[in-house]
Structure 1
Amino acid sequence: MKIPRISSVGREAENDARDYLNVAEDSHQFSPLFQVVGSVFPGIPGAVPIDLSDPFIGKHYPTVNAAEHSFRGYAFRKGFSIRRNRSWANGQEATLMKRVWVCSCAGHLKGKQPIEGVQQRDRRNSRADCKVVLRASKRPHKLFPDVIEREVIAFKTEHSHPLVPGDGARSLAAYRNISEYCREQLIKYKATGLNVAASVRLLELDTGARAREFPFTEKDVRNYLACFFSGEEEMDASKMVDVPEKAQMDDEDFIYRYKMDEEGRLEHLFWMPGESVRLYRKFGDVVCFDTTCKLNTYDMLFGIMVGVNNHGQSVIFGCCLLRNEKTATFTWVFETWLEIVRKPPVAILTDQDGCIVDVIAKIFPSTKHAFSCSGHSIIPSFLRSTHRLPSMYRSTLMLSVRFQ
């Protein structure tokens, strides 16, 4: 974890910040504040002071971070948040001498100067000139002069604004935080294809937390996952293309085609096992093309081309992953398919999509086109019958599952 830099505080304050981060990371309690308000006591390795009492004038803390988190815990219980305001350091020794914390609503917000021709966001003013303040100063311990502590020398508690009632303080931005453990679990859930809502529910079961007890919202999770996976977007295309490449090593007749967009991301993917090509040449007179299903992970359409053999059994002629349902997309699919099989079907069944109608009329002018009345029941009924299919067809279905 990155250690926050503290302006004009020197090496001692930076060490205090490092102590706090080490303690916070070792604490696996799932409370909004992790219940950690101090750092390791000098001379007592591993000892972590837990202070949940309210601050008061004359109270002593082992480090400046202990004072800050005691005040932060007090603010959380009362229903407001705090921020750092000012600090004083010894210029010669570069050590922090005094630190001031105030309510997040302290002070006045300076208005922006309007710029002609530039539209500016109208943000809510969160400053209310609140006078709540806590000031801590560096003092030697009364019994052990060599031990340096922080003493509260000023503490005001009168607010000029309403406080957040009940447990509403956990929704304040200052207290929303995703712990390292939760981050690791959320990344695993995302990799399996779970959406954000399902991931949070599963995390509640995993940690034993009650509903909405976490110090973060679903929006925070969505933003974190988007930020985490943004660096892997360029690698996703190569990873997905690796799957049919490996399948081609086991099946020399395995055929696949793909298309990248301008940003190097996978746009479309089409594949046909060698056995599917041979079966299409025998039983490809009538084909049903369905795009009902969708991948959760990449929000891509999963298309499947299904036919029937002489025994009335369902067979797969090909599968595809599509970015959207536009005319250019279906044009690419059917042109790629025709390039591989080199024989248009006699009849094709699809759903009632205007784009597909125009594309089929253009690419397959002699093919009879009909709309499937069963629509959403094509793939589910086909999947229920896969126990009767040879292993080759089941492996083809599993190929699409791996992309998730």
Structure 2
Amino acid sequence: MDDGTVGVQESSDMCISSDDDGIKQQNERSAELEHEHSEAQPDALVAKPELGMAFDTENEVREYYIKYAKAKGFGVTRRSSHSDDNGQLKYLTLSCSRYGKTQSKSRNMLKPNPTAGIGCKAKINIARGPDGKLHLSTAILDHNHTLSPQKSRLFRCNKKLDFHVKRRLELNDRAGIRVNKNFNSFVVAADGHDNLTFGEKNCRNFLEKTRRLKLGSGDAEAVRDYFVKMQSANPNFFSVMDVDDESRLRNVFWADARSRAVYESFHDVITFDTTYLMNKYDMPFACFVGVNHHGHSVLLGCALLSNEDTATFVWLFQAWLTCMSNRRPKAIITDQAKAIQNGVEEVFPESRYRWCLWHIMKKIPEKLGGYDEYDHIKVAIGNAVYDSLTITEFEVAWMHMLEKYCLADNEWLKGLYEHRHRWVPAFVKDAFWAGMSTTQRSESMNAFFDGYVNAKTTLKHFVTQYENALRDKVEKENIADFNSFYSTIPCITRFDIEKQFQSAYTNSKFKEFQEELTDIMYCDRKLIQKQGAIATYEITEDLLIDKEKGWRKDIVYHVYFNEEEFEVKCSCRRFEFRGILCRHILCVLTHMKIKEVPPQYIHDRWKKNVERKHNFIRCTYGGMEDTPVAKRFDRLCESFYPIAEIGAMSDASCNSLTEKLHALKIEYSSNSISENDKNQVGTQEDAPSDGKTTSKTILSPIPVRCAGRPPSLRKESKVDKLIRQANDKKKKAEQRDKKKAEQ
């Protein structure tokens, strides 16, 4: 009979018997297993299909047959259906999922993909009768394959995610919990995989769909819509998107209202870094990072760049400067890249500018590893850079190193010496850098994002995960504020000066002060000159170089102290560099019985009560994109939890509550949703983006390669791959033509 024809099975048992006795025996055995399984699961007892069964809706038919199939051990698929001009269902065929015979779509004939179709005839036909109900008109119950009720949960028709599961998956995903751990929480709660109606792949598919639909269809369009939404939530949200002549996204920069307010309080020192490659377009993630009063990294804006040339960095720095009301930073640290240097010199000409020391020192093996005396050269450079307290000491040590190892002609060292004022500590320690000698602040911020994004992260998923990451940063600052407000770190000495800093500094900075104070025990003090109120001391510090080998070294510092004007300086210049009085100065002050230092030596930067406008700005990080349905669902769950706690106290209360909830379920299920409610029920992706003001489409960026990264970290883009393949084919064709011509 044709699948679309309504017919009546003539056999009294409504079954077409199988010619294969082995299959029948296997099915009988499966029935026995089904019976054993149904004893453990009473819901598995479902009446077999019979002619004349009536159903009100298509969903009712599907639910019944799927439930029957699950008890028997086979899958169900919708085979065919037909509706009239009014959209009313006339007939429907549901069959075993192994009906028909499918062909493998594998391109490699030696590696065919598995197929499920083996021509199984089992099915039911449903037709609408004169009474308007759906009646079962055909039922073929025999299968030509083995049935397995124990495996029923793995069929696609039996896998479903209810609203509660979807809600938990989405919330856990926003919290940065990986999918495998997210799924395992359901496994543990259900006491095993057998009790779940879904698998890990279903969870992954749902989350991928949620991420795709949450912000729109295209990556660039989604990012733009996200920025519009954030600006509507807070007008101080700032964003700029740079597109080319083809309306393709090139660069994007954004900073939220809180980051802009943070910069007002901590605009003295920033670091900028682009060494973080994070998404499928190979766009470097560039971030501006500062330091708050606890010494924590704070984000001051970030960008995704399609190139790393001078023009791109000039565009980015100007966008950031505009965002920060044209208030230039006093000092900035970046990588050694020439393009970044050009951009900084053009946009921030008045700012103190230095290079990341770590990036320079790590290049030594690459640049000088070929020399026979490399090990000695490396030590000599380290001594010249780190041990030189004055510019003169560095100049002497550097020239001696060049002469001793015949390195005067090395171009890399020539370039470093020419720009020594940008990276050598002896040249830069006269300015305040908040203790930062490298761009490790930016790199630590990048590492912080590693828990939320990876190499496959799309642009639209990144902006939401970015919110989750920064929300944690904000919470850490709130906790640090609370700890400094609520608790006090005890003093470890009897010096009055320690109590002064204890009451002024945040806990983290007071700990740094205490470390300097306790280290005065390793310092030997000697007065070498005194003229009236001015005294000069020689401080010899016993410094531990290698704890395991016990290597120690004496380093000599000089402290200038004007007792009359209370002016104190040390040759290490740690206070100028970090804003914390060094152990050498403290060694002199404690010797002079100083009980209190003037305000200029208590850096406002590290005070507990430093003025911070961003504390009064509502944080928009991680704003939940909740639909009205989701909000109502959460509200009901909050109401149900206390009742569930009471009901769980005993079997009697649990059973009573379960019965009442079941009655409520029937009552609310029978009452259809009113048209007014239907209009209010909607999904997030159905709603138009807030504030979408332009219909011009912005295309996603083309995958690009970024300068300054080793080839091993680069991924060949699709465009590059196609070009390479075309060139290879062209070369091969030319070679073949050449051979033919020679022959």
Query: Which category of TM-score, normalised to the shorter sequence, fits these structures?
Result: 0.5 to 0.7
1:369 Cα deviation (Å)?
Answer: 0.8
C-alpha distance in structure 1 between counterparts of 2:620 and 2:127, whole Å: 65
Structure number with bigger Rg: 2
Compared with structure 1, are the counterparts of its residues 170 and 236 closer, same or farther at alpha carbon in structure 2 (3 Å cutoff)?
A: farther
- Counterpart position of 1:47: none
C-alpha distance in structure 1 between counterparts of 2:232 and 2:100, whole Å: 57
C-alpha distance in structure 1 between counterparts of 2:298 and 2:116, whole Å: 64
1:225 Cα deviation (Å)?
Answer: 0.7
- The CA RMSD measured in Å over matched residues stands at 5.6
Compared with structure 1, are the counterparts of its residues 392 and 215 closer, same or farther at alpha carbon in structure 2 (3 Å cutoff)?
A: same
1:235 Cα deviation (Å)?
Answer: 2.7
Compared with structure 1, are the counterparts of its residues 269 and 200 closer, same or farther at alpha carbon in structure 2 (3 Å cutoff)?
A: same
- Counterpart position of 2:150: 166
Compared with structure 1, are the counterparts of its residues 259 and 397 closer, same or farther at alpha carbon in structure 2 (3 Å cutoff)?
A: farther
Q: Is 2:171 the counterpart of 1:178? A: no
1:238 Cα deviation (Å)?
Answer: 0.2
1:319 Cα deviation (Å)?
Answer: 0.9
Q: Is 2:215 the counterpart of 1:222? A: no
C-alpha distance in structure 2 between counterparts of 1:342 and 1:259, whole Å: 21
Q: Is 2:376 the counterpart of 1:155? A: no
2:179 aligned residue (197, 201, 210): 197
Q: Is 2:292 the counterpart of 1:305? A: no
C-alpha distance in structure 1 between counterparts of 2:616 and 2:206, whole Å: 34
CA contact (8 A) 2:274 2:284 kept: no
Compared with structure 1, are the counterparts of its residues 220 and 54 closer, same or farther at alpha carbon in structure 2 (3 Å cutoff)?
A: farther
1:159 Cα deviation (Å)?
Answer: 2.6
Report SS of the residue matched to 2:64. helix
CA contact (8 A) 2:123 2:139 kept: yes
- Counterpart position of 2:707: none
C-alpha distance in structure 2 between counterparts of 1:133 and 1:172, whole Å: 16
CA contact (8 A) 1:8 1:89 kept: no
Q: Which residue type is aligned with residue 55 of structure 1? A: K
TM norm structure 2: 0.33
1:369 aligned residue (355, 367, 370): 355
1:83 aligned residue (77, 80, 94): 77
> How many positions carry a matched residue from both structures?
318
- Counterpart position of 1:259: 241
Q: Which residue type is aligned with residue 159 of structure 1? A: N
Describe the superposition over 1:128-181 as per-residue Cα deviations: whole angstroms up to 9, x where unpaired. Answer: 3333413457699xxxx9897745654332334x656734x4343333333355
- Higher share in strand: 1
- In the TM superposition, what are the counterparts of 1:278-289 in structure 2 within 5 Å? 280=267, 283=268, 286-289=269-272
Range with bigger deviation, 181-190 or 359-368: 181-190
Q: Which has the higher contact order (CA 8 A, sep 6+)?
A: 2
Compared with structure 1, are the counterparts of its residues 300 and 226 closer, same or farther at alpha carbon in structure 2 (3 Å cutoff)?
A: farther
Compared with structure 1, are the counterparts of its residues 137 and 278 closer, same or farther at alpha carbon in structure 2 (3 Å cutoff)?
A: closer
Compared with structure 1, are the counterparts of its residues 289 and 100 closer, same or farther at alpha carbon in structure 2 (3 Å cutoff)?
A: closer
Q: Is 2:55 the counterpart of 1:55? A: no
C-alpha distance in structure 1 between counterparts of 2:147 and 2:316, whole Å: 59
CA contact (8 A) 1:8 1:88 kept: no
- In the TM superposition, what are the counterparts of 1:275-354 in structure 2 within 5 Å? 276-277=263-264, 280=267, 283=268, 286-289=269-272, 303-307=287-291, 319-323=300-304, 327=308, 331-337=314-320, 341=326, 343=328, 345-346=330-331, 348=333
TM norm structure 1: 0.55
Compared with structure 1, are the counterparts of its residues 183 and 100 closer, same or farther at alpha carbon in structure 2 (3 Å cutoff)?
A: same
Q: Structure 1: 5+ residue runs without aligned partners?
A: 1-6, 10-49, 248-255, 351-355
Compared with structure 1, are the counterparts of its residues 80 and 330 closer, same or farther at alpha carbon in structure 2 (3 Å cutoff)?
A: farther
Compared with structure 1, are the counterparts of its residues 134 and 391 closer, same or farther at alpha carbon in structure 2 (3 Å cutoff)?
A: same
Q: Structure 2: 5+ residue runs without aligned partners?
A: 7-42, 359-437, 449-472, 483-607, 626-743
1:103 Cα deviation (Å)?
Answer: 1.8
Percent identity reads: 13
Report SS of the residue matched to 2:301. strand
Report SS of the residue matched to 1:364. helix
C-alpha distance in structure 1 between counterparts of 2:114 and 2:177, whole Å: 34
Compared with structure 1, are the counterparts of its residues 220 and 196 closer, same or farther at alpha carbon in structure 2 (3 Å cutoff)?
A: farther
